[in-house]
Amino acid sequence: MGNKRKMYLWAYAFISAPILGFLLFALIPICFSVYVSTTQYSGYQKPVFTGTDNYVRLLSHDPLFWKTLTNTIYSVLSIPIGMALALAIAVALNQKIVGIRFFRTAFFLPTISSVVAMTLLWKWIFNGDYGLLNYLLGLVGITGPAWLSSETWAMPAMILQGVWGGLGFNMVLYLAALQGVPGSLYEAAEIDGAGGWQRFVKITIPCISPTTLYILVTSIIGAMQDFPRFQIMTEGGPNYSTTTIVYYLFQNAFRYMDMGYASAMAWVLGILLMAITLLNFWLSRRWVHYE
């Protein structure tokens, strides 16, 4: 009995660091955040309790919040585009291709590269007068816009860069999923006379659907909290056209020192993310197939 208790102590000692970390850096901040979101707090004076004021202001008196919400949803368009392309690349790579290592590296390079460096690079590429993109467009007779200083084109530019940067990671996941599809299924379908496209739709897509769900859920959570790219590329402009919720939250917290309001915003975004995630899982029952 004493021996057993000694083993418990060992076990608790082993897990103590992450559990303590959970308390200190997750649970306590979360509880504190709920409180801060109900106060007016600059980070310097004592917080003043204001009840639900921050939430009311956010949801009914702040048109900018709704604009940033729309922008955020717009920016998330990069996800379906990126997933479709990543799948296409993975399918191509899955055909016993020579040079698979080379191709995998080419697509994967942006994933391991610093976001700051990649964003600076694309800021230069998007340069209206001397940038690579408009030069290349010019070669085929298109006069490109001044991407980042145009209200219309700044967000598409962010989406384009987001898709480019995220391809490699999703491609690796899809490639692993494709390699896990049992070959016997394809053989059976072929004997039944199913064509290539039919096999893709009826066998490949359902078999890799758990991976699709995983990518979808994690990408949405990541993209809706994406801040560094926007900070470096556009600083939310021009005229708020690329101000996402997280960017706006940041401005409120660290530029206007309106910590209470920013915390309320964080909670609205957090709850929105959790709702989307739950919705994703709920909907997934209709289209995700587990073996």
Partner 1 sequence: MSGASIGVRQTGRRANERIRKAAAYVFLICGSLVMAVPFLWMLSTSLKEQGAVFDMPPKWIPEHWEWSNYSFVLGEANLLHGFMNTMIIVIPTTVIGLFTSALAAYAFARMVFPARNVLFVMLLATMMIPGVVTMIPAFIVYKSIGWVDSWLPLMVPGMFGAAAAVFFMRQFFMTIPSELEDAAMMDGLNPFWIFIRIVLPLSKPALVAQGIFGFLGGYNDFLGPLIYINSPEKFTLQLVLASFQGFYNAQWTYIMAGSVLALIPTVLLFFFAQRYFVEGITLTGMKG
Site for partner 1 in 198-257 (CB under 8 A): 211, 214-215, 218, 221, 225, 227-228, 231-232, 246, 249, 253-254
Of 7-15, 49-57, 143-151, 181-189, which part binds partner 1 (CB under 8 A)?
Answer: 7-15
Q: Which is nearer to partner 1, 94 or 150 (CB)?
A: 94
Q: Could you say whether residue 149 binds partner 1 (CB under 8 A)?
A: no
Q: Which is nearer to partner 1, 43 or 80 (CB)?
A: 43
User: Using only C-alpha atoms, what is the Rg of the chain?
Assistant: 24
Residues 6 or more apart whose CB falls under 8 angstroms from that of 127 comprise 134, 147
Look at residues 207, 216, 221, 176 and name the one whose alpha carbon lies nearest to residue 81: 216
Q: Is 133 helix (H, G, I), strand (E, B) or coil?
A: helix
Q: Which of residues 48-87 bind partner 1 (CB under 8 A)?
A: none
Residues 148/133, Cβ–Cβ less than 8 Å: no
- The CB-of-89 to partner 1 minimum distance in angstroms stands at 6
Among 56, 142, 274, 275, binds partner 1 (CB under 8 A): 274
Residues 224/76, Cβ–Cβ less than 8 Å: yes
Residue 263 CA to residue 258 CA, distance in Å, equals 9
- The CB-of-4 to partner 1 minimum distance in angstroms stands at 9
Q: Which of residues 83-102 bind partner 1 (CB under 8 A)?
A: 88-89, 91-93, 95, 97, 101-102
- The CB-of-20 to partner 1 minimum distance in angstroms stands at 6
The DSSP-derived string for 30-89 is HHHHHHHTTEE--SSSPPEE-TTHHHHHHHHS-HHHHHHHHHHHHHTTHHHHHHHHHHHH
Site string for partner 1, 98-137 (x = CB under 8 A): ---xxxxxxxxxx-xxxxxxx-xxx-xx---xx-x--x--
Q: Could you say whether residue 191 binds partner 1 (CB under 8 A)?
A: no
Residues 190/265, Cβ–Cβ less than 8 Å: no
- The CB-of-192 to partner 1 minimum distance in angstroms stands at 14
Q: Which is nearer to partner 1, 25 or 287 (CB)?
A: 25
